[in-house]
Structure 1
Amino acid sequence: VSSHSDEIEELFEQVLLVCHEQGLLGNELFAIDGCKMPSNAAKEWSGTFKELEEKRKKLRRLIRHHLKEHHERDEAETEAELDRDIRRAKTVLSLDESLKKVDRFLKTNRPRMGRGKRNKEVKSNITDNESAKMTTSKGTIQGYNGVATVDKKHQIIIDAQAFGEGQEHHTLQPVLETVEARFRKLGIAESIYQQGTVITADTGFANEANMKYLHERQINGYVPDNKFRSRDPKFQNQKDKYGKRHQNQPDTGWKNIIPASEFQFDPVNLTCICPAGESLKYHATRTDQNGQSRAYFQGRLMQCRNCPKKHQCMQNPEAANHRKGKGRQVSFTLENKRLPNYTDWMKHRVDSQKGKEIYSHR
């Protein structure tokens, strides 16, 4: 597909231009949404460069092990062991091919960096390094986030892109810029967003950076945060009428876990005492996607490993028994007085009567 991408883009633009000439595009409201799709790549071939280096070392050890066994049996070869040696030779060839694959990737690529608030390495994939490991409602996949932009009038798709990122936050700006550039190229509009076109997107696209971008570009957008329904009186009886969301999914056991409210949190000194009386380690203070500052704490491994309340406190108590595991983690909102931000601006727009009416067209 990549070798014919220019031809596909040209054909797509021709079809879009015909739709415009036939009056099928309203240019009144564009709705943006994403869908996670698996790629033709195994997630087992994913990892950070450190993890892939460990995989390379493991493959070398396995090859040496099989070759050693082969040489030890070579002098006392019997017909009964011939089939076993043939299978071992095939195994060595397969391991050697995998080793070359990992070695070639590490020598010709650089670590892949994420685009979150903390600039840290994310997992690469040897088979398809443009794809990403992402969580979906059906489990973890190696794939892409397909983001489509649809015109309201006749449900015409005006843009479709695939992003190798699980989070949709980073895709809003490139999608909007691509649509604007395409409409300018086709002569439909010099600046489509300055003509009053409304943009709607779901909560997956909501963060402070995107709200700031919409405000500064003066784009008429409506992107709600993940709590917008809890502020709407129309939805206050929704759980009683329709039941809780995902109510048929298996119980995760979280309801029996000691909640964070049982921990003694001191926001002044940034300390936290667990129900067993142990002091948790302060990890960091970060701002969440709603602009709220949160303090993060984590129990030390030795504390949680020997704690009598471990099975009531941790969702996965066995994690404390592993040297690379983690103790109980909790976070608390810091109630600091802050200036209004761009997320507050968007909340006001979405919660207004006009905002609810516009967003309902999604």
Structure 2
Amino acid sequence: MTADTGFANEANIKYLHERQINGYIPDNQFRSRDPKFADQKDKYGKRHQNLPDKGWRETTPASAFQFDPVKLTCTCPTGEKLTYRGQRDTDNGKIRVHFEGRLLQCRHCPKKYRCMQNPSSADHRNGVGRQVSFIIENNRLPNYTDWMKHRVDSPKGKQIYSHRMSVVEPVFGNIGTTKRLSRFSLRGKKKVQGQWQLYCLVHNIEKLANYGQLQA
């Protein structure tokens, strides 16, 4: 069983675990942990381009970095390892872990104008690379969400969920976008069910017309 990120919460994942249901529900950061998606924004475009400008600007957030709280490692969106710079206790009893990008890597990185608030700091000898920090709970036990993240990030999990994105998502894309079914125009469970089944019927007829003659 697979589901989209909207169903990723501790209660749902606990339900799957306790009933031994073979399910895969990724969290909303699962693409940022997969190196295959590192260049997607460059390929399809985004609002904040890799161009130098003046003053403060929005940079790549720390959430885009892959942080391992067990091994205390951090990987930037381009796949480079950051240097561990230690940790310190916060006022609320948690731990903040600090990392810094290696100077030469940040200096020659094509994304430094998007990633760093002051990109020129990596250009001189005594400069610094990108700095990020993460807060982890002290002695926090692994929960069901951690278990699901491990499943989704595994090679098997990536294969299973990628199959869902190529089989399930195009159906919603066709019916919702191409057929423009953004909302039901009828009221009542029976009428709505009938309208939905009609749209599904048209979708399946199109598939038979376009691909019905192909051999499996």
Q: Please report the TM-score for the alignment, with normalisation by the length of structure 2.
A: 0.38
Instruction: Select the structure of larger CA radius of gyration.
Output: 1
